[in-house]
Amino acid sequence: MLNLTLLAFLACSGSDNTKQESEATKTETPAKEEAKADTAKAEQLQKQASAILGPLPEKMPGSENDTPEKIALGKKLYFEKALSINDSQSCNSCHDLNNGNMGVDHEKTSPGAKGERGGRNSPTSVNAGFHIAQFWDGRAPDLKAQAKGPILNPGEMAMPDEETVMKKLSGIPEYPKMFKGAFPDQDKVMTYDNLAEAIAAFERTLISKDRFDTFQKGDLAALNEQELRGLETFVSTGCISCHNGATVGGTSYQKVGVVKPYYTDENTDIGRAAITGNDAEKFFFKVPSLRNIAKTGPYFHDGEVPTLEEAVSIMAEVQLGKDLKKNEVADIVAFLNTMNGEITF
């Protein structure tokens, strides 16, 4: 009788345990399903992002010919104030690499060696060698051509001519030796062309590393829930139609004010049309890269917009005709912050 009672008790206990396990399983299932759905969504966004955008390459175009000596010379020249008429400015003055500034001076427009303000906001020098061209209007095809401009620009570093620049550098003892080391196969090494080539070589090392690339390379945990929402909104809103490629911009020219006029622009700067002479390109500018965008304000070619939130709202309105909600703007800004990178130089 005792055995039968014990068996009955064990059977009931087993039934209760099975019931409890079944109830526990039912309780866990929604959470597990939600986690699986989140992972699937992150995987989908990761594949979409890496297909349309992609991580930054490890090397810039043209870097295959760079040497340590050429890069070292370029770095010294980048920070050299003797390249300005009154020894007051270097490339770094407007494209500051110190203290996490990521290649900008955070000014609306930059002051030149003589105190005059330029007409446009200084774009970042970080990752610039990946862009379709240099300057807001694309007037320089590459970093080397860009490096030649500001030194001789009367409103910027204001040196009178190439000969004066090189004569001044020749009088600084370390430069003749460094130029010879950087260009060992040339008889005449102290040339303006070599100066520009060296600065470009240094700038080709300015490639930032960030969490968004970590995500694109497969680490789904690199972005949090809000940042993933921001990426999804960035894509679905249409931002990606202009801000594409590994630099998330910098790959094309676009009119500022496609759907609505850019209302902070008084239409005094006609952009690319001033270079090409083509009226159809009035108010066209190079689409800025969004890499490090949260670190490189103020925004747009005129530097008129102080915050990233305002910049996102304005672009959605004037380029896409969309009125984003505050939470959508906040999500996009959170995503853009994942491209805050670091550089070594």
What pLDDT digit, counting tens, does each position of 290-341 carry? 999 999 999 999 999 999 999 999 999 999 999 999 999 999 999 999 999 9
* Per-residue model confidence (pLDDT) at position 329: 98
* Per-residue model confidence (pLDDT) at position 9: 38
* Per-residue model confidence (pLDDT) at position 284: 97
- For tokens 């110190």, name the residue: 98
Of the options 2.60.40.1180, 1.10.760.10, 1.10.150.120, 3.40.120.10, the CATH number for the domain spanning 47-58+208-339: 1.10.760.10
Number of residues assigned to the chain: 345
One-letter amino acid of 49: A
Residue segments in the chain with a per-residue pLDDT below the cut of 70: 1-28, 264-267
Instruction: Report how far residue 216's alpha carbon sits from residue 202's, in angstroms, rounded to the nearest whole number.
Output: 27
* Per-residue model confidence (pLDDT) at position 266: 63
Compute the C-alpha angle 212/306/105, nearest 5°.
Answer: 75
* Per-residue model confidence (pLDDT) at position 20: 52
**Catalytic residue chosen out of the listed positions 69, 80, 116, 156:** 156
Please name the residues in contact with 315: beta carbons below 8 A apart, sequence gap of 6 or more.
Answer: 239
Please name the residues in contact with 156: beta carbons below 8 A apart, sequence gap of 6 or more.
Answer: 89, 94, 110, 112, 113, 118, 149, 150
What is the dotted CATH code of the domain comprising 63-203?
1.10.760.10
> Among this protein's residues, is 174 annotated catalytic?
no
Domains 47-58+208-339 and 63-203 share a fold: yes
* Per-residue model confidence (pLDDT) at position 30: 78
Residue of 18, 44, 16 whose CA lies nearest to 231: 44
* Per-residue model confidence (pLDDT) at position 3: 46
Domain map of the chain by residue range?
47-58+208-339, 63-203
